[in-house]
């Protein structure tokens, strides 16, 4: 997938906006995202919730598959 298109799709995504996540870069078989941790990402133990980490990981994996 084209780098600029991937970044634009991320910017338009309400899902990415809620998660404070953005595509930073991508290349052949890889992608890089940034997640700015906000209070709604934090669990009762004061650390980033595992689901937030899983979403970031899933997003990167999908981007890498789409951009082989």
Do the beta carbons of residue 35 and residue 19 sit within 8 Å? yes
Percent of the chain residues past pLDDT 90, beyond the cut: 15
Do the beta carbons of residue 16 and residue 10 sit within 8 Å? yes
The overall average pLDDT reported for the chain is: 80
Rounded mean pLDDT, 48-60: 83
Do the beta carbons of residue 32 and residue 25 sit within 8 Å? yes
Where residue 65 falls among pLDDT bands split at 50, 70, 90? low
- Name the E strands within 1-68: 21-27, 30-35
Higher pLDDT, 45 or 63: 45
Where residue 66 falls among pLDDT bands split at 50, 70, 90? low
Is the overall model pTM greater than 0.75, yes or no? no
């Amino acid at each position: 997938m084209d780098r600029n298109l991937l970044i634009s799709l991320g910017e338009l995504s309400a899902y990415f906006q809620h998660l404070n996540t953005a595509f930073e870069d991508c290349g052949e078989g890889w992608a890089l995202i940034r997640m700015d941790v906000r209070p709604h990402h934090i669990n009762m133990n004061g650390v980033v919730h595992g689901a937030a980490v899983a979403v970031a990981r899933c997003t990167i994996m999908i981007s890498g598959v789409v951009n082989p």
